[in-house]
Chain A
Amino acid sequence: MNLDDIKNQWSAFDKKLDNSIKLNTLLLKEVSLNKTNSFLRRLSLSIYAELILSFLVLLILGNFIWNNLYHIKFLIPAISLDLFIIFLVHSSIRQLIEINSIDFSEPIITNQKKLGSLRVRRINETKMVFLVSPLLWVPLLIVIVRGITGLDPYSIFSASWLVGNLLFGLAVIPIVFWVSKRYSHKFQSSPFVQSIMNDIAGRSLNEAIGFLDKLAKFEKE
């Protein structure tokens, strides 16, 4: 069978499709298309929410830093948290810029490249958040105790307890990485958890970069 012959059968089937399938326009009108949101709009709304929250945290941290400007032992944990939030804000703003530049009516390769780089950025952000968080919980504890109660957390918790927790956080990072790499396939019933584990393990990143390579090859060949 020649593919050019099948092309005729394909167009005949096309005509049949045209005559037989129905688009329920009435139903679409009734539910008002104006109230709908696309996937990207929903995503950008959630990023805006993250951004507002991050700015609030930055304000609170800024206030804390100002009040403890000459107490280096409180300043260092607050600045480390501040830097982390600034990274998140930067990443969110970049994501919003990328989302705003996406137009689904653009040529496929152009659009998919933009979506691909957005995906890489989001994966890197998730990875960073989950891998750095175990290290930040001790600074967070110090800032919260000092900020809310005004007490000195170093006198409440012993130095060895704080250092121990910091080291534990450090040890947790490779464990999280290993568990994600080894057991993500066991979370098929929960795509959300599975996808976060794949992000941490680097599987999603490899896949996203692989797709960008594929697009580049497709464009050049």
Chain B
Amino acid sequence: MAIIVSQERFLSLVEENKKILYKVANAYCKDPNDRPDLVQEIVIELWLSFDRFDNRCQFSTWMYRIAINVAISFYRSQRRKVQNIVPIKDFILEIAVADEMLEQEGDDIRLLYKLINQLDELNRILIILYLDGYSQNEIAEILGISSSNVSTKVNRIKQKLQQEFESISISK
């Protein structure tokens, strides 16, 4: 009974924060076809760690930490074999629907996603967290670096992205 209650609570919290799954999968899969596997691996790790979630931070912050840690390992792994738990993997998260929405978005957002994917795996999440509206302290806590370090890095990446945006706009 306790497991069922815990599972219900877990699923509702993941449901509330499902966009994190999409954003992380989009940012860390070299091949878009790998995204269902990564989403599955993240959900499994979230569930296995859920009994240690103690509400000391927001669920979204905790979820981001786990999702990114799993994603970076997944991204760097060459021979990862994913244990399939569902017959149709895409059904865990309707990635295709989100992709269609992204396609319909303005050029800026699509370009931003593209430029973010060109950053290295650590800077990539830094800028996603910044765009998500996390404070410097929260980002520092998720990454495990100092706030001043976050501030320096965010400014540097912003400048870099800004330059990229400008050079692409000029070439258009």
Seen from chain A, the residues whose Cβ lies within 8 Å of a Cβ on chain B are 1-3, 6-7, 9-11, 13-14, 16-18, 20-25, 27-29, 31, 33-39, 41-42, 103-112, 115, 191-192, 194-195, 198, 211, 214-215, 218-221
B residues within 8 A CB of A195?
A: 78-79
In the complex, are the beta carbons of B108 and A106 less than 8 A apart?
no
A residues within 8 A CB of B94?
A: 21-22, 24
The verdict on B114 contacting chain A, using a C-beta distance below 8 Å, is no
Select from chain B the residue with minimum beta-carbon distance to A108: B143
The verdict on B5 contacting chain A, using a C-beta distance below 8 Å, is no
In the complex, are the beta carbons of B162 and A21 less than 8 A apart?
no
How many of B's residues come within 8 Å of A, CB to CB? 71
Q: Contacting A108 at CB < 8 Å: which of B7, B11, B68?
A: B68
**CA gap between A192 and B77 in the complex, in Å:** 11
A residues within 8 A CB of B169?
A: 1
**CA gap between A16 and B108 in the complex, in Å:** 16
Select from chain B the residue with minimum beta-carbon distance to A16: B101
B residues within 8 A CB of A27?
A: 86, 91-92
Distance (whole angstroms) from the CB of A203 to the closest CB of chain B: 10
Interchain residue pairs with CB less than 8 A apart (17): A3-B158, A11-B131, A21-B93, A21-B94, A21-B98, A23-B15, A24-B93, A27-B86, A28-B11, A39-B82, A42-B83, A104-B65, A106-B65, A107-B144, A108-B144, A111-B65, A115-B69
A residues within 8 A CB of B22?
A: 17, 21
In the complex, are the beta carbons of B73 and A6 less than 8 A apart?
no
Select from chain A the residue with minimum beta-carbon distance to B100: A20
Interface of chain B residues 7 through 58 with chain A (CB within 8 A): 7, 10-12, 14-15, 18-19, 21-23, 41, 43-45, 47-49, 52-53
In the complex, are the beta carbons of B142 and A107 less than 8 A apart?
yes
**CA gap between A9 and B141 in the complex, in Å:** 26
In the complex, are the beta carbons of A38 and B44 less than 8 A apart?
yes
B residues within 8 A CB of A39?
A: 41, 73, 80, 82
Say whether, besides A10-B112, A13-B109, A106-B144, A23 and B44 are in contact (CB < 8 Å): no
The verdict on B97 contacting chain A, using a C-beta distance below 8 Å, is yes
Distance (whole angstroms) from the CB of A128 to the closest CB of chain B: 19
Select from chain A the residue with minimum beta-carbon distance to B162: A3
Distance (whole angstroms) from the CB of B21 to the closest CB of chain A: 8
The verdict on B66 contacting chain A, using a C-beta distance below 8 Å, is yes
In the complex, are the beta carbons of B109 and A6 less than 8 A apart?
yes
In the complex, are the beta carbons of B43 and A28 less than 8 A apart?
yes
B residues within 8 A CB of A29?
A: 7, 11
In the complex, are the beta carbons of B65 and A105 less than 8 A apart?
yes
Distance (whole angstroms) from the CB of B85 to the closest CB of chain A: 5
In the complex, are the beta carbons of A104 and B93 less than 8 A apart?
no
In the complex, are the beta carbons of A9 and B106 less than 8 A apart?
yes
Q: Contacting A17 at CB < 8 Å: which of B41, B52, B101, B152?
A: B101
Distance (whole angstroms) from the CB of B138 to the closest CB of chain A: 12
A residues within 8 A CB of B149?
A: 219-221
Per-residue contact bits, chain B 96-125, to A (CB 8 Å; 1 contact, 0 not)? 011001100110110010000000101001
In the complex, are the beta carbons of A104 and B142 less than 8 A apart?
no
In the complex, are the beta carbons of A33 and B47 less than 8 A apart?
yes
B residues within 8 A CB of A192?
A: 79
In the complex, are the beta carbons of A214 and B120 less than 8 A apart?
yes
Closest 10 CB pairs of A and B: A107-B144, A109-B144, A17-B19, A25-B11, A23-B18, A33-B47, A10-B131, A191-B79, A104-B69, A24-B91
Q: Contacting B44 at CB < 8 Å: which of A36, A108, A111, A115?
A: A36
A6-B112, A24-B92, A219-B144 known, 18 other contacts, Cβ within 8 Å: A3-B165, A9-B106, A17-B101, A20-B97, A25-B15, A27-B91, A33-B47, A33-B85, A37-B83, A38-B44, A42-B83, A105-B69, A108-B122, A108-B142, A109-B143, A110-B144, A215-B122, A221-B149
